[in-house]
A = this chain, B = another copy of it.
Amino acid sequence: MNPLFHALFQKSRYITNCLNEVLKQHNLYSSQWTILYCLHNHGPMTLTQIWKYLNVEAPSITRAITRLETLGWVLRIDGEDKREKIVTLSPYAEKHLPVITKTILAFEEEMIGALTVEEQQQFMILLEKMKG
């Protein structure tokens, strides 16, 4: 395996593991938090909007939303178009998200802190260049 790929995969796994560790105190997993944060910023979204935005396949989102629903974080309501389901944050989520967001921001700052803003931009540019 090309060392660049190897390093990329490693770091990706490492960061998600760290993220899960931080989220443990809130009884959440990284993929769940990603969706909650997404809904928090965009307001109610259909499943399709969510998976297109997060760039994963639909079944992953269906499963995650089902779990979040049973845990009481989101509500799934029928849209005007009867095919689609609109997902919204529950009052419980609205109440608890701010403090979670805060701990996550601290984590991200700690993780990325060693990079200057220019380095962060450079990193994004280099990522883009890898045939997207």
Please list the residues of chain A having a beta carbon within 8 angstroms of any beta carbon in chain B: 1-5, 7-16, 19, 33-34, 37-38, 55-56, 108, 110-115, 119-120, 122-124, 126-132
In the complex, the answer to whether A126 meets B132 with C-beta atoms within 8 Å is no
A–B pairs, 21, beta carbons within 8 Å = A1-B33, A1-B34, A2-B108, A4-B124, A7-B127, A7-B128, A8-B11, A8-B15, A8-B127, A9-B12, A9-B16, A10-B55, A11-B130, A111-B130, A111-B131, A112-B130, A115-B129, A119-B129, A122-B122, A122-B126, A123-B126
Within 8 Å CB of A113, what residues of B? 131
A3 to chain B, nearest CB (A): 7
* Residue in chain B with minimal CB distance to A55: B10
Secondary structure call for the A interface: helix
Inter-chain CA distance A2–B111, complex, in Å, is 11
A92 to chain B, nearest CB (A): 21
Inter-chain CA distance A14–B56, complex, in Å, is 10
Please state the number of chain copies in the assembly. Answer: 2
Inter-chain CA distance A32–B41, complex, in Å, is 39
Inter-chain CA distance A56–B35, complex, in Å, is 26
